Structure 1
Amino acid sequence: MSIEVLVVDDSAVVRQVISKILNKAKDINVYDVASDPVFALGKMEKKWPDIIVLDIEMPRMDGITFLRKIMIDRPTPVVICSSLAVKGTELSLNALAAGAVDIITKPELGIKGFLEDAEKQIQHTVRNAAKANVSTRDAKLIRSVKTKPPEENILPDLTGMSKTTDRVIAIGTSTGGVQALEVVLTALPRTCPGIVIVQHMPEKFTEAFANRLNSICAIEVIEARSGDRIIPGRALIAPGGKHIEVERSGAQYITRVFSGPAVNRHCPSVDVLFRSVAKHVKQNATGIIMTGMGDDGAQGLLAMQSAGAQTIAQDEASCVVFGMPKEAIKLGAVNFEISLDQIADKI
């Protein structure tokens, strides 16, 4: 059976080109297109798609409002097709937080040529989205942005607490990770150990993603730079397009951010982070592998376990895509397999 796709975009060129690209694949069928969400809802009353390819900025109803509506009414895998402009970056992150599975980034100019050049990527993205378990997402995964807790709930500056910097939490995630990380990080107090995160995400997205999380979490969340200290109450997110490692500097742990070739098809790579933690942090670390497509992080988690670290995998029932955790479990690299809502407590 083919994957039935509905394309929703106000650009006739985009609708035409995406339909042509997807219909080239034998296992994908674009059964209809719509110029905005209002038209799309009418078409979906007659036939509900397996996948929706969705623009964000459209007339009558914006894509994020439409996305939230269908995620509440009838959760369906959605792939965002959006620009990487600064405004588009924020909107795309909001779409991921609202339940979108993945993003196809398109330029402001030369869209037709870009889409044609990215044919295989677009087909691959739609196939992966079809495997997503979006029904696991409950209200807390699509809630609106909250405010940061009152100042009295936030501890004083912790940079001088060198004796507490010997614990490191390393987290790796991909598809579905934007929502999952929000669930975990918003539940953590400022007294939690320092955290280093790899979320598979393009350049320009990670800074906006970190800023968004920082605005709703009690802990500090920032995009990592080389030399950043890993301290209690702080989460450091690897920049898109760069790897991140953890290194020891005297009694402290710091990050090293650097450019390099993709590992397991990803940059940043979870394996790169986990292997560095296995080498430098050893038994003082906890490794957590969460929802995501593929096997990035499985070997690195095994290295952490062999070095004495505690290792955790998100369970299948709460994963959007049970790929990365499954591969780590198959390797015997996981000490605990737990649901998403238990991970913050475990940390």
Structure 2
Amino acid sequence: MIRVLVVDDSAVVRRLVSSALSEAGDILVAGVARDGIEAVEQVAALEPDVVVLDIEMPRMDGLGAVVEIRKDHPRLPIIMFSTLTERGATATLEALSRGASDYVTKPSNSVGGVADGIAAVREQLVPRVRALAGRRRLASGVPLVRPAPVAAPPPRPRVAAAPPEVLLIGSSTGGPDALARLLPALPKDLHVPVLVVQHMPPVFTTMLAQRLDRECALTVREAADGDPVRAGEILIAPGDHHLRVVRSATGVVARLDQGPQENFCRPAVDVLLRSAVDAYGGRALVTILTGMGQDGLEGCRLLAAAGARVLVQDEASSVVWGMPGAVAGAGLAHGTLPLDDLARHIMTGLRVPAAQAAIRP
């Protein structure tokens, strides 16, 4: 059983979250706490596998609790429970920068009764609890049943005629912190555009773009429909919208739509990568960062077949090695690298034709 500590100052929310988790047969609510001080005490007493932590609480808020918990429990997964507001998004990003592992959003007031609220929480929270608990147990040496790697051989790429013309990045769980470490390492004179899909809801992507813009030498902004895709700029897919690129007579432009979710996501990495095949062919460099699931796998397969180069974050530095692991397991990665080494190898990959570049894991 995965033991979870639920922390929230609202008794209603504690019951809702506890009910949502308890319905999963492999999760046990080991305890509850009403504020950050109780959370720190309960972590020491109960030794849970995962903590679900509210942000706004009396005495000690969630941000303070993350800092205190991390002092003695650097690997304990902490999932922030956030409101879908600008204030909630800002606080969540700050919590992630302080060491929180992931977040889920609280159901809005428009959600129906208790049953609907429990279902909404369960849909978001249970997969994250399972993934993060599994990651912690793996790091602790506890054997896990790991999915077999995809046996398909890597595609035989066509030779790329020129160096990459675009950098494409996909990320999910753990992605905001990974992006905050990777993107500021890119130089101001970067000669290609950067397009990013991070699995996040509306408002959160806006705040993420603003936060990264303050930290990066490059301009970072949330993409708008019709934006020109220009060298030296980073465009982030807005929450609840797919981001595509389309080549026209005047250059490449960004297109947004609210088509069906793919891999349970909107924005989805695969949507961007598929469009890049048409817009750039093999003249692209793809980087898949930490995240649950396998969004980006099929897009990487298409781009690699066209001659593009693919780098993935390694398992040791990933919060969850789902997305990068799926690409690596399919034999599509030209390099499997620690997060702090990716920027250097990205710059190397942007200077030479994709089919000529090779980096060993």
TM-score range, shorter chain: 0.7 to 0.9
The alignment-based identity, stated in percent, is: 42
Q: Corresponding residue for 2:105?
A: 105
CA offsets 1:10-48 (integer angstroms, 9 cap, x no match) = 111111222222222221111111111111222222221
1:233 CA drift (Å): 2.1
Q: Corresponding residue for 2:61?
A: 62
Q: Corresponding residue for 1:95?
A: 95
Map 1:153-232; keep pairs closer than 5 Å. Answer: 167-192=165-190, 193-232=192-231
- Partner of 1:22, secondary structure, is helix
1:110 CA drift (Å): 7.0
1:235 is the counterpart of 2:240: no
The CA distance in 2 between the partners of 1:231 and 1:262, in whole Å, is 27
- Partner of 1:186, secondary structure, is helix
Residue pair 1:224, 1:238 contacting (<8 A) in 2 also: yes
Residue pair 1:196, 1:236 contacting (<8 A) in 2 also: yes
The CA distance in 1 between the partners of 2:229 and 2:242, in whole Å, is 16
- Partner of 2:282, secondary structure, is helix
| More displaced 10-residue stretch of structure 1: 41-50 or 177-186 | 41-50
Aligned partner of 2:106: which letter?
A: K
Q: Corresponding residue for 1:52?
A: 51
Question: After the TM superposition, which parts of structure 1 deviate over 4 Å for at least 4 consecutive aligned residues?
Answer: 133-136
TM-score, scaled to structure 2: 0.83
Pair 1:132–1:115, CA change in 2 (3 A): farther
Pair 1:189–1:174, CA change in 2 (3 A): same
| More displaced 10-residue stretch of structure 1: 111-120 or 242-251 | 111-120
RMSD (Å), alpha carbons: 2.2
The CA distance in 2 between the partners of 1:109 and 1:65, in whole Å, is 27
Pair 1:277–1:313, CA change in 2 (3 A): same
The CA distance in 1 between the partners of 2:17 and 2:316, in whole Å, is 32
CA offsets 1:108-161 (integer angstroms, 9 cap, x no match) = 64787353232531323322232345999xxxxxxxxxxxxxxxxxxxxxxxxx
Q: Corresponding residue for 2:281?
A: 282
1:85 CA drift (Å): 2.2
The CA distance in 1 between the partners of 2:337 and 2:119, in whole Å, is 41
Q: Any gaps of 5 or more consecutive residues in structure 1?
A: 137-164
The CA distance in 2 between the partners of 1:277 and 1:44, in whole Å, is 46
Aligned residues: 319
Pair 1:110–1:302, CA change in 2 (3 A): closer
Pair 1:135–1:234, CA change in 2 (3 A): farther
Q: Any gaps of 5 or more consecutive residues in structure 2?
A: 140-162, 347-361
Aligned partner of 1:79: which letter?
A: I
Q: Corresponding residue for 1:313?
A: 312
The CA distance in 2 between the partners of 1:336 and 1:125, in whole Å, is 27
Pair 1:4–1:100, CA change in 2 (3 A): same
Q: Considering Cα pairs closer than 8 Å and 6+ residues apart, tell me whether 1 or 2 has the greater RCO.
A: 2
Pair 1:213–1:132, CA change in 2 (3 A): farther
Pair 1:289–1:191, CA change in 2 (3 A): same
Residue pair 1:247, 1:256 contacting (<8 A) in 2 also: yes
Q: Corresponding residue for 1:291?
A: 290
Residue pair 1:279, 1:307 contacting (<8 A) in 2 also: no
Pair 1:286–1:133, CA change in 2 (3 A): farther
Q: Corresponding residue for 1:83?
A: 83
Residue pair 2:89, 2:204 contacting (<8 A) in 1 also: yes
CA offsets 1:230-273 (integer angstroms, 9 cap, x no match) = 22221100011111112223363221111100111111111111
TM-score, scaled to structure 1: 0.86
Residue pair 1:190, 1:232 contacting (<8 A) in 2 also: no
Q: Corresponding residue for 2:270?
A: 271
Q: Corresponding residue for 2:130?
A: 127
